[in-house]
Amino acid sequence: MNIKIVEPCDYSILLPLAEQCCTELKRKTFDPVAFLSTWEMFQMSPFPSVVFGLYHEKEFVGGIGGVIVNDWLDGLSYAQEMFWYIQPEHRGGDHAKRLLMRLHQWAKEHGAVETRAGHPSFGSQERAFRAMYTRMGYTPLDTNYSLTL
């Protein structure tokens, strides 16, 4: 498996994976225009952003995207993981860790002092993510809640 930057002109290859991710997370809707518009907005902002793709031969099978932002409390730069997904049939091994470590490397190159990442808060995936983040040295930071309006 190879990891390489997905260029903004190729972001449409992210759409099938983003839709799969929404389905797996039991999200009610997926708006491909909103998804692409968000990444276009990141590209035009003063904050660096990146998407790394995971490729099995030439097939795009996963990716991670992040943006560098400044913490609102101390002004320090951090990388915020914005999405992360690997097709189920390509999970396992060290693919997830390799994607996250590539984001870490990029973040350091862009002046970030830490990386923040999230994960689903339900089911077996939650336990797997928590274990992986802990092994990699992450510490819990926040808990997010959602309320439908």
Instruction: Please determine, for residue 124, whether its predicted confidence score (pLDDT) is greater than 70.
Output: no
For position 24, what pLDDT does the model report?
83
Of residues 129 and 38, the one with the higher pLDDT is 38
CB-CB neighbours of 121 under 10 Å? 13
Q: What is the mean pLDDT of residues 126-147?
A: 79
Contact between 86 and 95 (Cβ < 8 Å): yes
Instruction: Please determine, for residue 38, whether its predicted confidence score (pLDDT) is greater than 80.
Output: yes
| DSSP secondary structure code for residue 72 in this structure | T
Sign (positive/negative) of CA torsion 29, 20, 35, 99? positive
SS3 state at 35? helix
**Cα(142)–Cα(31) distance, rounded to whole angstroms?**
27
Instruction: Please determine, for residue 2, whether its predicted confidence score (pLDDT) is greater than 90.
Output: yes
Question: In whole numbers, what is the pLDDT of the chain averaged over residues?
Answer: 87
